[in-house]
Amino acid sequence: MDFPYRSALIVGTGPGISASLARRLAGFGVKIALAARNVQKLDALIRVGEPEIVVYNAGARAHGPLAELDPEAVQEAVAITAFGGFLVTQQAAKRMVPRGHGAILLTGATASIKGFAHSASFAMGKFALRGLAQSAARELGPKGIHVAHFIIDGAVRAAHRPDPADNPDSTLDPDAIAQSYVDVLRQPRSAWSHEIELRPWAERF
């Protein structure tokens, strides 16, 4: 099967999901642009051409009891996690709707569906991103644009957080996450997924 898209913009860099996804997409011949999450610079994204895939993979949080949180840090966390996702989704919609083709992938977390204590800002941002994803899917799906929201329900493996030797595969391998992103991109439009949760086999949920 040919891969249905030829170019991708991935927002939110780092050594994790974005890099694994970029490598895997490149294997299908997809041209990749990576962008940092800096919302002040999102205008620059307008210049990245006409990506057929857009991935928003940025997030931020302020941790602590409600009474101790810095309101500005909360506002910034929500801006990066959700408002940045809106800006990217909007730019994607402007380019994809006229062509009736494209995919927008938004990366959520456990906090997208469960607001934990001492994590109000992350819950606010990730819940908001999920609301955006649903609204975008209902508007853009019938226009041929596949909007999907991924709930990464567990810790992602990283250099500073290696998989524990005595509990193998208890952290999400970024390559395994990227595999599911690619699977969703390859879904025929008669059977699209909108929301996909991914968690390690031994994770409680």
Q: Which residue among 13, 28, 48, 179 contacts a copy of itself (CB under 8 A)?
A: 179
For residue 8 the two structure tokens come to 């991708």
Site for a copy of itself in 121-150 (CB under 8 A): 121, 123-142, 144, 146
How far from 140 is each of 17, 135, 175, 187, 197, CA to CA, in Å? 25, 9, 28, 16, 21
**Binding segment (CB under 8 A) for a copy of itself, from list 4-12, 24-32, 49-57, 183-191:** 183-191
Residue with Cβ nearer a copy of itself (31 or 134): 134
- Asked if 30 interacts with a copy of itself (CB under 8 A), we say no
| Using rule CB under 8 A, residue 170 touches a copy of itself | yes
Distance, in Å, from the CA atom of 56 to the CA atom of 112, rounded to the nearest integer, reads 14
Shortest Cβ 86–a copy of itself spacing (Å):
6
Binding to a copy of itself, residues 6-25 (CB under 8 A): none
Q: Residue type at 59?
A: G
* Binding of residue 190 to a copy of itself (CB under 8 A): yes
Sign of the torsion formed by the C-alpha atoms of 27, 31, 34 and 39: negative
Q: CB under 8 Å to 193, separation ≥6 — which residues?
A: 148, 184, 187
Task: Using the Cα atoms of residue 40, residue 46, residue 96 and residue 53 in order, give the sign of their dihedral.
Answer: negative
Please, what is the minimum distance in Å from the beta carbon of residue 36 to a copy of itself? 19
Q: What tokens does 109 get?
A: 């977390």
From 7-15, 24-32, 44-52, 65-73, give the range in contact with a copy of itself by CB under 8 A: 65-73
How many residues make contact with a copy of itself (CB under 8 A)? 82
Beta carbon nearer to a copy of itself, 7 or 89: 89
- Side chain identity at 191, as an amino acid letter? A
- Residue 56 engages a copy of itself in binding (rule: CB under 8 A): no
**Mask for 72-111, x = binds a copy of itself (CB under 8 A):** --xx--xx--xx--xx-xx--xx--x-------------x
- Sign of the torsion formed by the C-alpha atoms of 129, 197, 139 and 146: positive
